[in-house]
Structure 1
């Protein structure tokens, strides 16, 4: 299996009233997160990666009309958890994560990729931030209120 590219996307899925969708990792029960995923190729556009990961992990299609991914133009560099470092080339210890969000209707159907995630739940944004195992994911959720206020109407 080829090594993962140490560049990824994070997609915070939320409703208009800031309910946040969290998904539980299949390989780490109790680890809740937003949609995340590495680029498939070094030249994969970030928006394409976010669109792909959103669909692969939740079945949600960002159609660009009703379901629109929003690039926050924000990147985080974090240390890759030791448990997952074997997926990266030797010596790679950091990942650059690009943050996106998407507002969806609360009644949207969620179809999890069973090999990746086993459960999902909707929580108010502050509770969702508390539930995330990843500090960068929690921080993005905490910024959600400010980010959505800045969204064009």
Structure 2
């Protein structure tokens, strides 16, 4: 269970760490998996999530968040460890005011580390129902257009370059 688990009462959850991962899950054909937020219907995104503790390795954060939010297990026969790549991209952005209460007082910015994960198109997706309402596989440009987050859209637009297809 993640310390940011929505099942924990807000008063017992420690503040979120303002360092997170963004994982662009995609197929070899550059179809991108997007998930719709349960707390903000109509807001579509890739997998995101903060570190559980300051020393948590970013790759482990990415693996954990992918499993928690989609049920996809990195390191399985279907999705080997090598399918997860750190793109070396970092975004620093202002945290939306609606979500600032999750962080320590005075925290206004987050550093996001971008990863890509290549998966088979027919992989099963099992959403965390308290976090996400539905998912969709979209061509990469269409996926970028649907994202509410500018940094998420920009990461998806980097997909062909990151895959060496630009």
Q: Give the TM-score normalised by structure 2.
A: 0.88
1:44 aligns with 2:44: no
Distance in 2 (alpha carbons) for counterparts of 1:47 and 1:127: 27
Distance in 2 (alpha carbons) for counterparts of 1:71 and 1:64: 18
- Counterpart of 1:130 (choices 114, 121, 145) is 145
Report the secondary structure of 1:149's partner residue: coil
1:81 aligns with 2:93: no
Moved over 3 A (4+): none
Unaligned runs of 5+ in 2: 1-12
CA contact (8 A) 2:78 2:120 kept: no
1:53 aligns with 2:38: no
Corresponding residue number in structure 1 for 2:15: 3
1:111 aligns with 2:126: yes
- 1:80-122, CA deviations, whole angstroms, 9 ceiling, x for partnerless residues? 0000000001110000000001011110000000010010001
1:145 aligns with 2:160: yes
Give, in angstroms, the shift of residue 64 of structure 1.
6.9
Moved more, 134-143 or 56-65: 56-65
Report the secondary structure of 2:144's partner residue: helix
- Counterpart of 1:15 (choices 8, 27, 51) is 27
Unaligned runs of 5+ in 1: none
1:93 aligns with 2:108: yes
RMSD: 1.1
Equivalenced residue count is: 150
Distance in 2 (alpha carbons) for counterparts of 1:65 and 1:73: 26
